[in-house]
Amino acid sequence: MPLNVALLGFGNVGRALAELILAKLDILRYDYGIHLRVVGISTRSHGHAIDPTGISLRTALDAVRHGSRLDGLHQGASVRDTFRFLADCPADLVFECTPTNPYDGQPALAYVYGLLERGIHVVTANKGPVAFGYRELSELAARKGVGFFFESTVLDGAPVLGLGREGLPAARITRIRGILNSTTNYILTRMELEGLDFESALRAAQAIGVAESDPSVDIDGWDAAVKTVILANVLMGADLRPADVQRTGIRHITLSDIQAARAAGQRIRLICEAVRQPDGNVTASVSPQHVPLDDILAGIMGTTSLVDFESDAITRLTLIEHDTTPATTAFGMLADMINIMRGRHHVGLVRLNEDEDSDV
């Protein structure tokens, strides 16, 4: 039987995922027994397409590349909006990669909840639903016997959540520290290495597609705060929201600040941190910090990211992802789909109640 999938969102990540699926079709079939068929694609600006017999990804990619709509690939009654697309599309699994809302997670939170409620697997690269609804969504997925995975929400395709879930069983993580936002790190790197002021470095980031035309989510620390919340909630059993994070961005960092730090043998980096306090509660922060040059975080340049774990089992474990692209994010989504099809539906739930009293 084929695995019917739909793509909700067909921007840079969605299209990279489509290309990756095309490249990996034989591996999926022969190595993992996954006979994948795309039965729906939903876009913000190119319309919606549903075809239960299968949609040609190559045709869809060519259409969007040439600025055409996907309506010609659609079969059946017209689709007026995203909720109708989700209701009508006969998918077993939905790849959700719509833009993140760092303030309340909507409307993606409602999309994901509705899909899980109907017993449909969800793989998302959208940070919003995980930051605002991780416990509720995970518990719902468990009740419905479906998968809800989100590896690409923190470090693109790097298996940071999988490492914590499956690589550190029974470990009590006491601290997570890292550089999780590539846009701000790129800006700070260009300021230091090329002597650019903040606005010039920001324009350079926008010119190569690292920063959005409205970069406030990145430079004001919201993206980093959302990612920190996901790590704290999933891997440390916290129940935080982005507004709980003590957050300071890099908007007011000047070239003089960068040069003064360098003269003192330091670099400024936007550091994300989640710490388990003596009372067991987890606190989180995002802020520009002066990092000594001999600290591993000081060596993280450009769009490279890092996350560092401290635990009672392995004293310190560090994961670095170099020079990310939409293709690396897409890989994280593909890996999540494979793991769901391998039956690893509820792995994340082991952390939900780790601090509750035991009956033993």
Q: Note the pLDDT of residue 349.
A: 46
Alpha-carbon distance of 220 to 154, in angstroms, equals: 17
Q: Are residues 222 and 130 in the same domain?
A: no
**Residue 57 placed within a domain:** yes
Q: Which stretches within 89-240 are classed as H helix? A: 108-117, 127-144, 160-162, 182-194, 198-207, 216-219, 222-236
CA distance 261 to 96: 41
Residue 178 lies inside a defined structural domain of this protein: yes
Instruction: Assess whether 130 and 220 both reside in one domain.
Output: no
Tokens of 69: 């709509």
Within this chain, do residues 284 and 145 fall inside the same structural domain, yes or no?
Answer: no
Active-site residue, from 24, 127, 144, 227: 227
pLDDT for residue 211: 87
342 in a domain, yes or no?
Answer: yes
360 belongs to a structural domain: no
Bridge pairing between strands 121-124 and 93-96: parallel
- Is residue 73 included in any domain, yes or no? yes
Q: What is the pLDDT of residue 355?
A: 47
Cα–Cα dist 74/47, whole Å:
10
> Within this chain, do residues 188 and 255 fall inside the same structural domain, yes or no?
yes
Which conformational region is residue 210 in: left (phi greater than 0), alpha (psi within -120 to 50 degrees), or beta? Answer: alpha
Judge if 339 and 260 occupy the same domain. no
Residues 255 and 317 in one domain: yes
Number of domains present in the structure of the chain: 2
Is 227 one of the catalytic residues?
Answer: yes
Instruction: Report how far apart, in Å, the C-alpha atoms of 354 and of each of 140, 346, 357 are.
Output: 19, 15, 8
Structural domain for 311, as ranges: 169-321
358 belongs to a structural domain: no
- Give the whole-angstrom CA distance, residue 284 versus residue 177: 10
Encode the chain (360 residues) as per-residue pLDDT tens digits. Answer: 799 999 999 999 999 999 999 999 999 999 999 999 999 999 999 999 999 999 999 999 999 999 999 989 999 988 989 999 999 999 999 999 999 999 999 999 999 999 999 999 999 999 999 999 999 999 999 999 999 999 999 998 899 999 888 888 899 999 999 999 999 999 999 999 999 999 999 999 999 888 888 899 999 999 999 999 999 999 999 999 999 999 999 999 999 999 999 999 999 999 999 999 999 999 999 999 999 999 999 999 999 999 999 999 999 999 999 988 889 999 999 999 999 999 876 544 444 444 444 444
pLDDT at 353: 44
CATH code for position 73: 3.40.50.720
What pLDDT shows up at residue 167? 87
Q: Which helix (H) or strand (E) holds 328?
A: helix 326-341
- What tokens were used for 136? 């509720």
Domain shared by 273 and 299, yes or no: yes
- Regarding whether 26 and 118 lie in a shared domain, the answer is yes
Q: Is residue 82 part of a domain?
A: yes
Are residue 147 and residue 185 in the same domain, yes or no? no
Kindly state whether residues 249 and 332 are assigned to the same domain: no
Q: What strands, in cross-sheet order, belong to the sheet with 48-50?
A: 48-50, 36-42, 3-8, 93-96, 121-124, 148-149
Assess whether 25 and 12 both reside in one domain. Answer: yes
Cα-to-chain-centroid distance, residue 285? 19
Cα 318 to Cα 310: distance, rounded to the nearest angstrom: 9
**183 and 278 co-located in one domain:** yes
In a domain, 162, yes or no: no
Q: pTM for the complete prediction? A: 0.93
CATH of the domain at 187: 3.30.360.10
> What's residue 202's pLDDT?
96
Element (H, E) at 14: helix 12-32
